[in-house]
A and B are shown apart, each in its own frame.
Chain A
Amino acid sequence: MNPQELLLWVRGTGLQLATAVCVLGMTYRLLHLALLGRKKNLAEARGSEWGPGLRTMWRRSFVLPELSARGKFTVVAGYTFHFGFFITLLFLSQHIAMLRAVLGFGWPALPHSAIEIAAILTLAAMIALLVHRYMDPVKRMLSGFEDYLTWLLTFLPLLSGFMLLHGIGPAYTQMLTLHLLSVELLLIAIPFTKLAHMLTTFSARWYNGAFAGYKGVKA
């Protein structure tokens, strides 16, 4: 298989396979969770659970003042890399061209300079978080193979994309192939790892809030 054939496979069959695994896995996980159902409560509660549920979804998005400096670092660096990742993913003109081909519509891109800043900040934040995860004894103890794997799978598309855009490393054909392969690996890993949080975070927060804010007897 020559480099062009490999690129063609990655842009076609490879992407189809990765998308199928990701969508099938995530649909299954979400729907299966929803269909588990909740035990019917026979006692009437005071007020609705939606209020505390929604409030928790909102409040957990902030850096709480009671967090220590190290906690703040995790939150701030975490936010930086999440926002940076989404800015890079959704507002780079090449990505919009790809999404337009899939979705049938697009939106205006940000200037490359803005994307570059976002990408560099994201890469820096991710490296800082990895170092912190390793240096902090508590975090290190809590971390397992999956945590490092998901870090790598998230980092690789960003790094290969940055290199591709700046003509660093192998020729464009090979670099584009590597970039797309790294994206496909990420897509395949999503349903099987903690990366599934991208679709379950907010519902989980709502559930926690609804549970904690419940006023009444469970019967």
Chain B
Amino acid sequence: MKDHDTLEHRLTQQGISRRSFLKFCTAMASLMALPPGTAPAIAAALAQAKRPSVIWLSFQECTGCTESLTRSHSPTLESLIFDMISLDYHHTLQAASGFAAEKSREDAMKDFYGKYLLLVDGSIPTKDNGIYSTIAGRTNLDLLQEAAKGAAAIVAVGSCAAFGGLPMAKPNPTGAAPVSDLIKDKPIINISGCPPIPSVITGVLAHYLTFGELPALDELGRPKAFYGETIHDRCYRRPFYDQGKFAKTFDDEGARNGWCLYELGCKGPTTHNACATTKWNGGAGFPIEAGHGCLGCSEPNFWDAGSFYTPLAAPTSNIGAIAGAAALAGAAAAVALSAADRAKKKSLQQTHEKLTVKDISN
């Protein structure tokens, strides 16, 4: 895997025509919202790109991100492009195991020090010195810190690596943390989603190979090209939202007519991702097209953001109980202070004095 020959050569070897390659480059330029003129530049850069070493570390995760990347579009050009990087270490995909696997990671870190891309999926447990997840007897925290030192950049793949995800959800028993909380001295790009869209991962890699740097990021470290707009902004059901037409249940007339799923808990308005445009399963569709609201999986804390089926307008905590308790407290205060006023009045009456407004409590 250390043979870093050019991408063009590898593609030719695998029977990929130049036309198909250029089509891919145009699609990538479009996906990343780059000017059309940059497609040839991408093609030229990618064609001559050496296969960079990539180390993929999997921590507290479910392998869904890898499943997404390897299966959803397979076998497409995107997955072949992914083949064209030198994936020197990946638990799930590598053939080697045990000492041989760990040695390939150590070799890659040594041989390409300062140049390799570090991809991380899964969050990192930090409680009790990170003992809740270990690989080859070493904690995830230790492995991350070691690998991060020599990385050119880190790509946090999936919501667990980007924002903590499910392991960090309350009560967060392992003290799980995202990569960005632990590594501060390296460029980090967050490709959030549970799982993220495969072409977003390949898009970011293509950008890195083309320009030698990571794309423009939003305030949460996500590439703006893919996370610049909300699901709601580009949703094909948006006109129904604007008209105030909402499905009330998953099988009512509104749902059958394709009305907006806002009242059924859709988190599209607050979720930044490219699902509505890039779509899933080779462009077949995305969750809202299947009749289910967006869960908001590419946003931080989405597991703790209340029920998936609670509308965004609804409170996330119990307001009725608080209002009841507050009413009781208010009534108790009024009764107590009124009793004090009456006692004062009675005492003043005994001395033939008058109770004035100033004497009563406010």
Do chains A and B stick together as partners?
yes
Nearest chain B CB to A178 CB, angstrom units: 13
At the interface, yes or no: B263 with Cβ under 8 Å from chain A?
A: yes
Flag if A35 contacts B323 (CB, 8 Å).
no
Q: Which residues of A contact B326 (CB under 8 A)?
A: 19-24, 27
Q: Which A residues lie within 8 Å of B315 (CB)?
A: 11-12, 15-16, 98, 101-102
Interface residues of B in 284-329 (CB under 8 A from A): 299-302, 304-306, 310-320, 322-323, 325-327, 329
Q: Answer whether residue B34 sits at the interface, using C-beta atoms and an 8 A cutoff.
A: no
Nearest CB in chain A to that of B302: its residue: A4
Please classify the interface of chain B as helix (H, G, I), strand (E, B), loop, or mixed, using the class held by over half of its residues. Answer: helix
A171 part of interface (Cβ distance < 8 Å):
yes
Q: Does B20 contact A (CB under 8 A)?
A: no
Query: Are the C-beta atoms of A12 and B317 separated by less than 8 Å?
Result: yes
**Contact (Cβ within 8 A) B311 A16:** no
Report the separation of the CA atoms of residues A170 and B243 in the bound assembly, to the nearest whole angstrom.
Answer: 21
Most chain-B CB neighbours within 10 Å: which of A4, A15, A29? A4
- Among the listed stretches B90-98, B104-112, B135-143, B331-339, which one makes contact with chain A, having 4 or more residues with CB under 8 Å of it? B331-339
Q: Contacts A8-B301, A20-B323, A94-B313 hold; do A35 and B269 have CB atoms under 8 A apart?
A: no
Known contacts A15-B315, A27-B330, A97-B313; decide if A112 and B244 are in contact (CB<8 Å): yes
User: B246, B270, B327: which contacts A176 (Cβ < 8 A)?
Assistant: B270
Q: In the bound complex, what is the Cα–Cα distance between A190 and B65 (angstroms)?
A: 49
The 0/1 profile, CB within 8 Å of B marked 1, for residues 10-53 of chain A is 01110110011111111111111001110000000000000000
> Which residues of the other chain, B, contact A61 by a CB distance below 8 angstroms?
none
- Is residue B199 contacting chain A, with contact meaning CB distance below 8 A? no
Residues of the B chain whose Cβ atoms lie less than 8 Å from the Cβ of A109: 244
Q: Which residues of A contact B320 (CB under 8 A)?
A: 102-103
Which of the residues B299, B330, B338 comes within 8 Å of A4, measured between beta carbons?
B299
Interface CB pairs A-B, < 8 A, 22: A3-B219, A4-B270, A4-B305, A8-B306, A11-B314, A12-B317, A15-B319, A19-B323, A20-B325, A23-B322, A23-B323, A24-B330, A28-B331, A28-B333, A30-B334, A31-B338, A32-B333, A97-B313, A101-B310, A102-B319, A112-B244, A172-B232
Q: Which B positions have Cβ atoms within 8 angstroms of A?
A: 219-220, 230, 232, 242-244, 246, 262-263, 269-270, 299-302, 304-306, 310-320, 322-323, 325-327, 329-331, 333-335, 337-338, 341-342, 360-361
Give residues in A with beta carbon < 8 Å to B. 2-5, 7-8, 11-13, 15-16, 19-32, 35-37, 92-95, 97-98, 100-103, 109, 111-112, 115, 171-173, 176
Would you list the 5 A-B pairs with minimal beta carbon distance, nearest first?
A: A27-B330, A112-B244, A101-B314, A31-B334, A35-B338
